Amino acid sequence: MAEIDEVKEILNSLRVAMSITIGLLVVIIGATIKLERSNQIDIYFYAGLISILVLVVAFLKIVLLIHKNTKKIKDL
């Protein structure tokens, strides 16, 4: 397989991972807001906040990897 095909495959996988991350963020943010509005500040609320932070960091890393691999395709 040519190197450009390998990079394209990596980019497609990263885009799927980014879509899944965004979907999880939407669901977890919605659930956390629901807990906050119903005054249920418990372990699940804080677990939601921690999950949101982890997913945002993962999202940023995925975006940086997409940017790096896009530049690599340009150089090929």
Helices 3-37 + 43-75 axis angle, to 10: 160
How much is the pLDDT for 48?
96
The full set of domain ranges for the chain reads 3-75
How many C-beta neighbours within 10 Å does residue 56 have? 12
Query: What is the pLDDT averaged over residues 6-10?
Result: 91
Helix and strand numbers (H, E) in the chain are 2, 0
Q: Would the pLDDT of 76 be above 80?
A: no
Dig out the tokens for 36 from the structure: 């906050």
pTM, rounded to two decimals = 0.86
How much is the pLDDT for 10?
93
pLDDT tens for each residue of 17-68: 999 999 999 999 999 999 999 999 999 999 999 999 999 999 999 999 999 9
Q: Using the CB atoms, write b or e for 12-38: b if 16+ within 10 Å.
A: eebeebbeebeebbeebeeebeebeee
